[in-house]
Structure 1
Amino acid sequence: MWNRIDLRINTALNRIRKVFRGVLVRVNSTGGVQTVQAKGLAGESLQDAELFQHYGFTSNPLKGTMAVVVPVNGKTSHSIIIATEHATYRLKKLKSGEVALYTDEGSSIILKRGRIIEVNCDEYIVNARNKYQVNTVNYGVTATDKAEFETPLLKGSNEVADGNSTMNKMREIYDEHDHNHGGDAGITDAPNQTM
């Protein structure tokens, strides 16, 4: 008798769909929660399965992205996607504890060991409505072509230098300079207006 009960229980449990793998075919990113079409590895088709993502993070996975599918109440027709992975584009060789955001085009932000953040992209745009501030001991910019500032006023709190001198040194030279006109003309006084 117990064998028959066990058999019936196992038969019923086997009808309930367990978590399975799938591959995304299409993503609809227009709604509050993204929905996907996917193919299960056993060939089943999923329509409008919800793709759940962590709060504050969102992505629109490419076709061919692998997914972990959870059939709610064991029903394939009411499945949700809880994780996705695309092995072709995932950043590899991260050290233990490192975190990265990345795209299939190669843009990435990597939070590296040693409290280093590395950003890789072709164009980097920051839109700060009121203020952009960087606080650091040393700040370096390497621009191999040029650096431009479009601003009505550019301030430096202390010295501004180029390869030869500083603004203060140029100011001192200007404020104290005179001209030797030679002959009877003599030497002019220093400028009556200082910089």
Structure 2
Amino acid sequence: MIGSVQRQIARGMGQVRQTFLGVVARGGSKMLQLTGLADEVLDETELVQQVGFSSYIPEGCRVVVIPLQGKTSRSIVIATDGAPIVIHVLEGETCIYDQFGHAVWLKEDGTHIKGGDLFVDDGNLYVTNGDVIDQKSSMQEMRDTYSSHKHGNSPTPDKPM
């Protein structure tokens, strides 16, 4: 009797797809195409990400796939790993980064921003190629104005900026 019940349970469990690892065949930020076990292809698999965070998952990344209600056709991706660029953090650190090498790294000694230009839209601060720009002008334009300014017949500043 117990053996019969165990066989029925095993048969039923055999029809329920368990969580598995897949590989991204076509990247995206909302839907992915995956290859799974035995080279099966899963089209339009939903990528579930944390609220406030969105990331494009490149081809070749490993993903954790959960078949909802045990059905492969209703699978979602909940975690990713193995992108070409990976940043290793130390205890207590957090890093948000992309596959272009840009990073916002929260470290014990402060926030480090790496790569490219820095933009702060609402505060209107732009740092491009080492030049700081605000609502009025760039720092270099202010230096040029200061260094060449005069008051009446006085000479220009003896120490240019």
TM tier relative to shorter chain = 0.7 to 0.9
Q: Aligned residue for 1:71?
A: 67
5+ residue gaps, structure 2, are: 140-149, 155-161
Q: Aligned residue for 1:113?
A: 108
- Partners of 1:70 and 1:83 in 2: CA distance: 10
Change (3 A) 1:58 1:150: closer
Matched, 1:96 2:91: yes
Larger-Rg structure: 1
Tell me whether 6-15 or 72-81 shows the greater mean CA deviation. 6-15
Change (3 A) 1:37 1:149: closer
TM-score of the superposed pair, with normalisation by structure 2: 0.75
Change (3 A) 1:11 1:81: same
> After TM superposition, what 4+ stretches of structure 1 lie above 6 angstroms from structure 2?
none
CA contact (8 A) 1:23 1:38 kept: yes
Q: Aligned residue for 1:22?
A: 22
2:56 is paired with a residue of what secondary structure?
coil
- Partners of 1:147 and 1:110 in 2: CA distance: 21
5+ residue gaps, structure 1, are: 134-143, 155-169, 175-195
1:86 positional shift: 2.3
Change (3 A) 1:63 1:112: same
- Partners of 2:130 and 2:40 in 1: CA distance: 55
CA contact (8 A) 2:28 2:58 kept: no
Change (3 A) 1:14 1:148: closer
Q: Percent identity, aligned pairs only? A: 30
1:150 positional shift: 6.5
- Partners of 2:22 and 2:65 in 1: CA distance: 7
Aligned length: 142
1:42 is paired with a residue of what secondary structure?
helix
CA contact (8 A) 1:95 1:113 kept: no
Q: Aligned residue for 2:147?
A: none
Change (3 A) 1:41 1:100: farther
